């Protein structure tokens, strides 16, 4: 489906951008995807379930290690958990996962 100029302008204006007027690519993609309804709660739930190996109802360091395989890096995974572990219990539950997905990255 083609996106008309008005829709693109709306998406552009709804994205937070820095004082230079530039938009970060990730923010643009997120806004575009959100605008087309690609991110649904069901899809987020499916993504969480795929990362939560064994259906424990939380994502652990070992889950991310398994997911990354040969690309695993302990420091990177520790940072991933730390950034998303809002309850500071060493794991990421679904509530924290959603919080991470919807939080404002500028905060």
Band the pLDDT of 44: cuts 50, 70, 90. confident
At residue 92, what are phi and psi to the nearest 5 degrees? Answer: -120, 110
Q: 74-95 pLDDT, tens per residue?
A: 998 998 899 899 999 999 999 9
Residue 10 burial by CB count (10 A; 0-12/13-18/19+): exposed, middle or buried? middle
Note the pLDDT of residue 57. 96
Average pLDDT over residues 36-41: 65
With contact defined as beta carbons under 8 Å apart, do 81 and 90 qualify? yes
Average pLDDT over residues 13-37: 57
Q: Which residues contact 33 (CB under 8 A, 6 or more apart)?
A: 39
Count the Cβ atoms, other than its own, within 10 Å of residue 67: 14
pLDDT of 22 > 90? The answer is no
At residue 78, what are phi and psi to the nearest 5 degrees? Answer: -60, -45
Place of tokens 């990362």: 51
Please tell me the pTM assigned to this model: 0.61
Note the pLDDT of residue 46. 84
């Amino acid at each position: 489906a083609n996106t008309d100029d008005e829709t693109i302008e709306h998406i552009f204006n709804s994205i937070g951008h820095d004082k230079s007027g530039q938009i970060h690519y990730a923010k643009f993609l997120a806004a575009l995807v959100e605008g087309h309804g690609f991110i649904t709660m069901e899809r987020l739930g499916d993504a969480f379930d795929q990362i939560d190996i064994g259906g424990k109802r939380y994502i652990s360091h070992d889950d991310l290690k398994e997911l990354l395989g040969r690309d695993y890096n302990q420091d990177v995974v520790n940072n991933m958990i730390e950034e998303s572990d809002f309850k500071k219990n060493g794991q990421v539950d679904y509530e924290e996962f959603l919080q991470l997905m919807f939080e404002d990255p500028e905060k």
